[in-house]
Chain A
Amino acid sequence: MMETIISVSQLSKTYAGGFQALKAVDLEIEKGEIFALLGPNGAGKTTLIGIICGILNPSEGSVSVGGHDIIEDFIKTRSMIGLVPQELTTDTFETVWTTVTFSRGLFGKKADPKHIEDLLKKLSLWEKKDSRIMALSGGMKRRVMIAKALSHEPKILFLDEPTAGVDVELRKDMWEVVKVLRESGVTIILTTHYIEEAEEMADRIGVINNGEIVLVDAKTELMRKLGTKQLTIELQQPLDRIPAALSSHDLELAAEGTQLVYTYDTQAERTGITTLLNELYQAGIKFKDLSTSQSSLEDIFVNLVKRPS
């Protein structure tokens, strides 16, 4: 049985200017999972994270973290959370070591140079520990921000667009770190534009658009939808209806009877394509072309967020 670690209930946020960034959002994050929040710019991802972490005030609704309310018991909830914000905001004049040590102290944890050392080594920052942050590259600064967020050993880690503007190598490194963290029991919530990233890493995927959660599903469930493929058969002669001999297949007529569309599961042991083509031949149905198509997570995503609200 999964245990809920973050519970968002009817959460709304309207900014001073009148813009409603979140509309009665309900969301449950399970302990130990990697949850990917997908959504276009301005969908409300950062607002949602900001409220949970205490940077923004909610307008309505409530959030509990580890069973504690984020307003009433903020000391408890914030101790559990590490945040890597989207913007590269760092103390430019500080060294890597001081800034990461500062973060640990700020979160009320006893100084632990060994932990900081391990962390910096894991993030390939050890050689840079005495460098000033302004002397680091963008990717290195991103690592510093991750080190800051992990300095106080959080149980929950928020990564807001962690790989935006990051090179491929660093992205891979980062996913390694995330995997190790997950193995140690840390719950990870990430927002991303990269669908393949969500596919690669996440256990569950939530899609947010216009301040509303449009869909939350296990990744495998989405992959199953993703796993269906369609074979389109262009016929030489249009058909009025699907011949009885072919009724055992999942077939549909399209384009005024000039196309037969066969939907099949790529994950299945047998796709049934050979049988279908044999039976078409035996039924005397001739075709001039064949094509296959696959709906990607990206298509699902685009369809979801384009749907008029």
Chain B
Amino acid sequence: MNLRAVRAIYLFEMNRTWRTIAQSIVAPVVSTVLYFVVFGGAIGSRITEVDGVSYGTFIVPGLIMLSVLTQSVANASFGIYIPRFTGTIYEVLSAPITFFEIVLGYVGAAATKSIILGLIILGTASLIVPLQVAHPFWMMLFLVLTAVTFSLLGFIIGIWADSFEKLQVVPLLVITPLAFLGGSFYSINMLPPFWQTVTLFNPMVYLISGFRWSFYEIADVSLEVSLGMVTLFLVVCLLMVRWIFKTGYRLKG
């Protein structure tokens, strides 16, 4: 195992984060605070409790997930797309490093960044609304699994994309809508029965539900199902990355 290479990529990517600290960390925190003000404060004050929790408190896990999902995809897709775009990828491809190590470096850095971001948002939220975390271990587990899974997805998107437009399309047209419709702002029990069934095809529902359970012990689907779905999604992404590297898809002519 070329640990020095993994470390080099990881530190290089983290370095990029610190250099672009404003857009990496501050911007998502600001937008999350805006969500709290609008949905939690202004609108939320007129909504009664959801599943026994005040609305402002209820949306905290969903908001954290929304940011972690979108930022994981954005970080990882940019991390690998930029070297492809500028051509500096030649060095990584010519280095004595396995594909697994490359992924570990890039995805590890992207996931680290979103986990830090998630925790910052959690901290920020705790200043605004009353919060409790019933199961810290499960909360961290869901946070880490989600960050890793969606960083892998971002990595795949960054390899698949051959233009900046494509790089934006999936996050904008797929990830964000699914996260919004996945129960970030509501319990799916609030939907008509037909839409409740449709919603179950949205993988985000399981992530958000499991994550919310770790806070308030309220969930739309059972914990086991949530965990199973997250793991399944992780495995699918891993298999796709493995295929990409085996075939050299979009990386090697």
Contact A55/B93 with A102-B12, A105-B5, A108-B5 known, Cβ cut-off 8 Å: yes
The distance in angstroms between the C-alpha atoms of A16 and B91, with both chains bound, is 22
The distance in angstroms between the C-alpha atoms of A247 and B89, with both chains bound, is 65
Q: List 8 A-B contacts (CB under 8 A).
A: A53-B94, A54-B93, A56-B253, A77-B96, A89-B87, A90-B88, A106-B9, A108-B2
> In the bound complex, do residue B15 and residue A109 qualify as a contact, i.e. CB atoms below 8 Å apart?
no
- B residues 186-223 near A (Cβ < 8 Å) are none
For residue B243, CB closer than 8 A to chain A, the reply is: no
Please list the residues of chain A having a beta carbon within 8 angstroms of any beta carbon in chain B. 15-16, 50, 53-57, 74-79, 81, 83, 85, 87, 89-94, 98, 102-110, 148
User: Chain A residues with Cβ under 8 A from B98's Cβ?
Assistant: 75
> In the bound complex, do residue A81 and residue B87 qualify as a contact, i.e. CB atoms below 8 Å apart?
no
User: Chain B residues with Cβ under 8 A from A57's Cβ?
Assistant: 248, 252-253
B67 to chain A, nearest CB (A): 25
- B residues 68-86 near A (Cβ < 8 Å) are 86
A234 to chain B, nearest CB (A): 56
Contact A102/B94 with A16-B253, A75-B2 known, Cβ cut-off 8 Å: no
For residue B46, CB closer than 8 A to chain A, the reply is: no
User: Chain A residues with Cβ under 8 A from B91's Cβ?
Assistant: 83, 103, 106, 148
> In the bound complex, do residue B4 and residue A108 qualify as a contact, i.e. CB atoms below 8 Å apart?
yes
B79 to chain A, nearest CB (A): 12
User: Chain B residues with Cβ under 8 A from A55's Cβ?
Assistant: 90, 93-94, 252
> In the bound complex, do residue A106 and residue B90 qualify as a contact, i.e. CB atoms below 8 Å apart?
no
> In the bound complex, do residue B5 and residue A106 qualify as a contact, i.e. CB atoms below 8 Å apart?
yes
Knowing that A83-B94, A90-B86 touch, tell me 6 more A-B residue pairs with CB under 8 angstroms: A53-B93, A55-B252, A56-B252, A56-B253, A93-B19, A106-B95
> In the bound complex, do residue A107 and residue B87 qualify as a contact, i.e. CB atoms below 8 Å apart?
no
Interface size on B, residues (CB 8 A): 26
B237 to chain A, nearest CB (A): 24
Contact A15/B253 with A55-B94, A106-B92 known, Cβ cut-off 8 Å: yes
The distance in angstroms between the C-alpha atoms of A56 and B253, with both chains bound, is 5
The distance in angstroms between the C-alpha atoms of A108 and B87, with both chains bound, is 21
> In the bound complex, do residue A102 and residue B252 qualify as a contact, i.e. CB atoms below 8 Å apart?
no
A75 to chain B, nearest CB (A): 4
B219 to chain A, nearest CB (A): 43
Closest chain A residue to B87 by CB distance? A89
B253 to chain A, nearest CB (A): 5
Closest chain A residue to B3 by CB distance? A108
For residue B21, CB closer than 8 A to chain A, the reply is: no
Contact A107/B252 with A55-B90, A83-B90, A90-B88 known, Cβ cut-off 8 Å: no
A288 to chain B, nearest CB (A): 60
User: Chain B residues with Cβ under 8 A from A105's Cβ?
Assistant: 4-5, 7-8, 11
For residue B139, CB closer than 8 A to chain A, the reply is: no
Q: Find A87's partner among B8, B87, B97 (CB 8 Å cutoff).
A: B87
Q: Find A91's partner among B4, B7, B88 (CB 8 Å cutoff).
A: B88
> In the bound complex, do residue A78 and residue B87 qualify as a contact, i.e. CB atoms below 8 Å apart?
no
Contact A54/B94 with A15-B253, A16-B253, A98-B15 known, Cβ cut-off 8 Å: yes
Q: Find B95's partner among A78, A85, A90 (CB 8 Å cutoff).
A: A78
The distance in angstroms between the C-alpha atoms of A90 and B89, with both chains bound, is 10
> In the bound complex, do residue B8 and residue A89 qualify as a contact, i.e. CB atoms below 8 Å apart?
no
User: Chain B residues with Cβ under 8 A from A89's Cβ?
Assistant: 86-88, 90
Closest chain B residue to A89 by CB distance? B87
User: Chain A residues with Cβ under 8 A from B8's Cβ?
Assistant: 102, 104-106
The distance in angstroms between the C-alpha atoms of A78 and B102, with both chains bound, is 15
User: Chain B residues with Cβ under 8 A from A79's Cβ?
Assistant: 96
- B residues 216-253 near A (Cβ < 8 Å) are 248, 252-253
Q: Find A78's partner among B9, B16, B86, B94 (CB 8 Å cutoff).
A: B94
User: Chain B residues with Cβ under 8 A from A76's Cβ?
Assistant: 96
The distance in angstroms between the C-alpha atoms of A108 and B93, with both chains bound, is 14
Closest chain A residue to B97 by CB distance? A106
User: Chain A residues with Cβ under 8 A from B5's Cβ?
Assistant: 105-108
The distance in angstroms between the C-alpha atoms of A15 and B252, with both chains bound, is 11
Contact A109/B4 with A55-B252, A93-B19 known, Cβ cut-off 8 Å: yes
The distance in angstroms between the C-alpha atoms of A301 and B22, with both chains bound, is 56
User: Chain A residues with Cβ under 8 A from B95's Cβ?
Assistant: 78, 106-108
For B2, B15, B86, B96, the residue with the greatest tally of chain A CB atoms inside 10 Å of its CB is B96
B102 to chain A, nearest CB (A): 10
User: Chain A residues with Cβ under 8 A from B9's Cβ?
Assistant: 106
- B residues 1-31 near A (Cβ < 8 Å) are 2, 4-5, 7-9, 11-12, 15-16, 19
User: Chain B residues with Cβ under 8 A from A15's Cβ?
Assistant: 253
> In the bound complex, do residue A110 and residue B93 qualify as a contact, i.e. CB atoms below 8 Å apart?
no
User: Chain A residues with Cβ under 8 A from B4's Cβ?
Assistant: 105-106, 108-110
Closest chain A residue to B94 by CB distance? A53
Q: Find A85's partner among B2, B12, B15, B90 (CB 8 Å cutoff).
A: B90
Contact A91/B90 with A56-B253, A57-B252, A102-B12 known, Cβ cut-off 8 Å: no
The distance in angstroms between the C-alpha atoms of A54 and B94, with both chains bound, is 5
Contact A78/B96 with A57-B253, A105-B8 known, Cβ cut-off 8 Å: yes
Which 10 interchain pairs have the tightest Cβ spacing?
A: A105-B8, A89-B87, A78-B96, A79-B96, A108-B2, A53-B94, A75-B96, A106-B95, A106-B8, A55-B93
